[in-house]
Amino acid sequence: TGLVTDNPARIIVYPNPTTQTVNMFFKDFENKNVTAHIFDLMGKKVAEVTQFYDGQPLSLDLNKVYCRNGLYFLQIYVDNKLI
């Protein structure tokens, strides 16, 4: 695995803030597996979701991954590479 740093604008996450659903759009990462790790402010991983990205925005329902109200961090991997 490796860290992709050549273009940090490849990911769009919206809306921010959100109340339930987060949408993610990835430029130039079509037809790849995308994994989102969600961490709380204490650094504890509260969820991990993997989906195949076909070019359409991915939707992540935070209620289904048991996120309570608060601040969270996303760590995104595309084909096992942290971006």
Of 5-9, 31-35, 44-48, 69-73, give the lowest mean pLDDT range: 5-9
Q: Identify which of 16, 75, 19, 18 has the alpha carbon closest to the alpha carbon of residue 48.
A: 75
Q: DSSP string covering 15-37, please?
A: SSS-SSEEEEEETT-TTEEEEEE
Q: Please say whether the beta carbons of 34 and 51 come within 8 A.
A: yes
pLDDT digits (tens, 9 = 90+) for 12-58: 888 888 878 888 887 777 888 989 898 989 999 988 888 888 888 88
Element (H, E) at 72: strand 72-78
pTM of the shown model: 0.73
44 Ramachandran zone, left/alpha/beta (phi>0; psi -120 to 50): beta
